[in-house]
Amino acid sequence: MNQTFSIVLKDQPDTLVRLTGLLYRRGYLIENLVVQPVYENNNVQVTISLRNCSTTHHVLRQLDKLFNVVTAEAISSTVQTSMPAQALAFNHGYTTPL
């Protein structure tokens, strides 16, 4: 089962290292990671899909402990294993198949 989370983080040099390190230490497998800038308050929007994640509440509690997390929420739970279409979009205006 895959679980997708939407997280707003403070834009600092070690933000992604702290996030991925936390998930790695807890044994979660990152299947997809999309980072987009949010121009309000100098934050970044992270959409992350975790594989074999059955404890959504536990992940949200762990994310809440990181000091650079502004908000975190679970947005979907799927059994699908393919990447979403938004992960294929690039800034140059076209999409590319995997």
Assigned domain for 52 exists: yes
Please give the mean pLDDT across all residues of the chain. 79
Assigned domain for 90 exists: no
Find the mean pLDDT for residues 19-37: 91
Assigned domain for 86 exists: no
Find the mean pLDDT for residues 66-93: 63
Count of domains observed in the chain? 1
Assigned domain for 33 exists: yes
pLDDT in tens, 84-93: 444 434 344 4
Assigned domain for 72 exists: yes
What CATH number did the domain enclosing 18 receive?
3.30.70.260
Is this structure's pTM higher than 0.75? no
The per-residue b/e assignment along 29-58, b for 16 or more CB within 10 angstroms, e otherwise, is: eebbebeeeeeeeebbebbbbbeebeebee
pLDDT (0 to 100) of residue 42: 87
pLDDT (0 to 100) of residue 94: 40
pLDDT band of residue 79 (cuts 50, 70, 90) is low
Domain that holds residue 31: 2-80
